[in-house]
């Protein structure tokens, strides 16, 4: 049984760090769900669906807690780039993103099962990568484990090696848009304004 008034329905260490930075007490419960990751699905629909799926699964099991779910993907050329399956796919993703601008979409879902509260929100940011040759890709992959990161990279992990610039929310690109999350938690009385 969760003791904190808020549960993060995510195994992501990055989301845990970002949420902890808001100063709210929370527990972590990983949702046992199969996420929808069809590459040609509208990325806004995909991340909203997956965030809700995680939040709903945990909220049903902890009906008196607030539950926050989130999901992030990278989108370019009409396709979502989710977590790479292996190093070969990670390299292919970095080649595809090289020298180009892509969009990072995150869906967040806040639930309180006992009262029926359901709030969903989506956030988008743009990232432009440097032109990456093969040695640059190999140097990056030698420093960063990328198989748990959408698009095969993490802006917070040696991003200076591959990222030229970004617009929008940095924390959205990392995996949890902090400003929007803070507004939702304040609205629901979990944080003081």
Return the C-alpha torsion angle 36, 41, 45, 49, nearest 10. -10
pLDDT of residue 78: 93
Instruction: At 189, list the tokens.
Output: 């009385």
Residue 82 lies in a domain: yes
Residue 193 lies in a domain: no
Closest by Cα among 167, 169, 94, 154 to 130 = 94
Residue 192 lies in a domain: no
pLDDT of residue 193: 72
Check pLDDT > 90 for residue 138: yes
Residue 71 bears catalytic tag: yes
Domain that holds residue 169: 6-187
Residue 1 lies in a domain: no
Question: Domains in the chain: how many in total?
Answer: 1
Place of tokens 């993103």: 97
pLDDT of residue 129: 98
Residue 63 lies in a domain: yes
What CATH number does residue 127 fall under? 3.90.950.10
Angstrom distance (rounded) from CA 18 to CA 34: 24
- Condensed to tens digits (0 to 9), the pLDDT of residues 64-74 reads 999 999 999 99
Buried b (16+ CB within 10 A) or exposed e, 69-96: bbbbbbbbeeebbbbbeeeebbbebbeb
What is the residue-wise DSSP string for 5-56?
Answer: SEEE----HHHHHHHHTTT---EE----------TTS-HHHHHHHHHHHHHH
Kindly name the residue from 27, 42, 56, 71 that is annotated as catalytic.
71
Residue 154: pLDDT band (50, 70, 90) is very high
Which percentage of the chain shows pLDDT scores above 90?
91
Mean pLDDT of 81-107: 97
pLDDT of residue 122: 97
Residue 90 lies in a domain: yes
Residue 116 lies in a domain: yes
- Condensed to tens digits (0 to 9), the pLDDT of residues 170-185 reads 999 999 999 999 999 9
Check pLDDT > 70 for residue 2: no
Residue 10 lies in a domain: yes
């Amino acid at each position: 049984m969760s003791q904190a008034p808020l549960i993060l329905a995510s195994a992501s260490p990055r989301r845990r760090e970002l949420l902890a930075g808001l100063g709210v007490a929370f527990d972590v419960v990983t949702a046992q769900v199969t996420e929808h990751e069809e590459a040609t699905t509208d990325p806004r629909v995909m991340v909203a669906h997956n965030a809700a799926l995680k939040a709903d699964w945990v909220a049903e099991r902890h009906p008196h807690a607030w539950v926050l779910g989130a999901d992030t993907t990278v989108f370019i050329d009409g396709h979502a780039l989710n977590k790479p399956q292996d190093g070969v796919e990670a390299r292919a993703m970095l080649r595809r993103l090289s020298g180009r601008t892509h969009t990072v979409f995150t869906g967040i879902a806040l639930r309180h099962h006992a009262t029926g509260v359901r709030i969903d929100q989506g956030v988008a940011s743009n990232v432009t990568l440097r032109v990456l040759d093969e040695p640059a890709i190999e140097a990056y992959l030698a420093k960063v484990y990328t198989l748990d990161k959408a698009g095969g990279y993490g802006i917070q992990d040696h991003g200076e090696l591959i990222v030229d610039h970004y617009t929008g929310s940095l924390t959205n690109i990392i995996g949890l848009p902090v400003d929007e999350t803070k507004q939702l938690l304040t609205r629901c009385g979990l944080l003081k304004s």
